[in-house]
Amino acid sequence: MVQKAMTVALLLAVATSAACGSDDAAGSGGAAGTATGGQAGVSGSGGTGGGGAGAGGSAGTGGAAGSGGSAGSPSTCGTVTTFADGKTPSKELHVDAAASSGGDGSAQSPFQTLSAALGQTSPGTSVVIHPGTYAGGTFISDLAGTESAPIWIGGVAGQPLPVIDGGTEGLHLSKVRYLVVHDLEVRNATGNGINCDDGGETSNPDATRFVVFDGLDIHDIGTGGNEDCLKLSGLDDYFVLNGHFARCGGSGSGSGIDHVGCHDGVIFHSSFEQNSGNAVQAKGGSENILLWRNHVKDGGERAFNMGGSTGPQFFRPPLSTTGDNYEAKNIRAEANVIEGSVAAIAFVGCVDCAAINNTIVDPEHWVLRILQETTSSGAATFLEAQNGVFANNLVYFDSSALATFANVGPNTQGGSFTFMNNLWYAHDAPGSSAPTGLPATESGAVVGQDPGLTADFHISAASPAAGAGTPQSGAHGDFDGSCWRSPPAIGALEAP
């Protein structure tokens, strides 16, 4: 049963939480909007619009949405609700790359470009982009739906995804609200695939808010440097659902999803592969972000980088000179499968962050890292990485590949971290399974017992991981969307 929508901040106000981020200076500052819902595998945002995915209006169209409203939330075990659920568009504008110029946006005479449609968009509009290839580089600013009448931009349910190809950025969204972007393929941009930001209004949490990204396939982005599939700066109340993010950036930089100063978000049921820097990173003051039911394969240097290193001018909110600052806070990675990556989990200047019930397979150098890359200087005081939780994780590894289990750097409070009920199994040498070098004593660990993982990472009822976890406050559900038993299994998947 779908729960009543609530704010993401309320959802994440739990005892165990986690943060993610990355270590490069934030690129083009700006904020990204908010969120969506829908069951895993269902095109929740685009599909709810009836015929086609909706679209956004031109700059200023519809005015700015009010600052209130609810973004949506995960349900107890496996689904996500958003502001767009149950809404249908009041009108459709059609876009078809094969159409003649001069169309009126009707199904019979579609616009030829997305830009042409945006000039006619208002709250409640769905911009339906038909299959075809469209030039990248569209800039969308000041586009606002309302809580009762969002704007949709995206492909047609059941048809091939429209392709946005090339450009410095495939799409750039700035100062948008109550917007659903769905069912699009974005490729070959030289900068970022999709960039969503707050237009540089770093002190305004309402600048870009209530945005859903659903069913996006963003891949092969950048020129081998610090380029991201999905770049989010200054977003509040947002969701990224059912996406695929692959081969963005290079040379150890670039992320599948890069957050800079984003708050109250959910990254849900998405896949990440062959990204150079990170699968997901959250930094620059990011807070209250849930990474849930995702699959990472070869996520780069740090698959989930909770925190990072951000230039002082890019923080949202701006740095305080009277209170403590942090790179990230309350970022929670739950029920994810992480294969490969140099390090699976990194706590980098993050406070009150958690990695819970993840299945970690064959990390290449470290299982986790605890680092501090942004230190106090001048008038800005930064909290050190502290109070993290690493619990109920199943770590299946090759002992010959690991330098250490945990890489703990200076200026951190590693002793404040909690380690509990993790399963550690070195499949090449079971006798070498016991973790060494953890900064705090672990309780309830299962060591050296083969969890019996299947090819798709499930466990049997007879697995030593079954029922060996410890209940975690605010737990949502396993990788398949099943509810956790009490006590829960260790790893991303509950036992049958």
pLDDT in tens, 53-69: 333 333 333 333 334 45
Q: Are 139 and 174 in contact (CB under 8 A)?
A: yes
Confidence of residue 180 (pLDDT cuts 50, 70, 90): very high
d(CA 185, CA 182): 9
Q: Are 147 and 210 in contact (CB under 8 A)?
A: yes
The residue range of the domain holding 433 is 8-375+383-447
Q: Are 39 and 77 in contact (CB under 8 A)?
A: no
d(CA 294, CA 241): 10
Tell me if 343 is assigned to some domain: yes
Helices (H), 39-131: 44-47, 114-118
d(CA 309, CA 81): 32
How many of the other CB atoms lie within 10 Å of CB of 484? 20
d(CA 194, CA 3): 30
Average the pLDDT over 286-309 and give the result: 99
What are the pLDDT digits (tens) for 411-421?
Answer: 999 999 999 99
Average the pLDDT over 131-138 and give the result: 98
Q: What is the dihedral of CA 231, 235, 241, 246, to 10 degrees?
A: 10
Confidence of residue 20 (pLDDT cuts 50, 70, 90): very low
Helices (H) and strands (E) in the chain, counts: 3, 40
Phi, psi of 224 (to 5 degrees): 95, 20
CATH number of the domain at 32, please. 2.160.20
Tell me if 261 is assigned to some domain: yes
- Rg of the chain (C-alpha set): 22
Tell me if 455 is assigned to some domain: no
Tell me if 294 is assigned to some domain: yes
Question: Which three-class secondary structure state does DSSP give residue 476?
Answer: coil
Class of residue 393 by CB neighbours under 10 A (exposed 0-12, middle 13-18, buried 19+): buried
Confidence of residue 318 (pLDDT cuts 50, 70, 90): very high
Look at strands 72-74 and 80-82 and give their pairing: antiparallel
What are the pLDDT digits (tens) for 462-491?
Answer: 999 999 999 999 999 999 999 999 999 999
Give the chain's domain count.
1
d(CA 191, CA 220): 11
Is the model's pLDDT at 160 over the cut of 90?
yes
Tell me if 486 is assigned to some domain: no
Average the pLDDT over 287-312 and give the result: 98
Tell me if 489 is assigned to some domain: no
How many of the other CB atoms lie within 10 Å of CB of 262? 33
Query: What are the tokens at 315?
Result: 């923080």
Question: Tokens 């996500």 correspond to what residue?
Answer: 80
pTM for the model stands at 0.87
Average the pLDDT over 103-116 and give the result: 98
Is the model's pLDDT at 25 over the cut of 90?
no
- pLDDT, position 24: 38
Tell me if 463 is assigned to some domain: no
Tell me if 205 is assigned to some domain: yes
Is the model's pLDDT at 40 over the cut of 50?
no
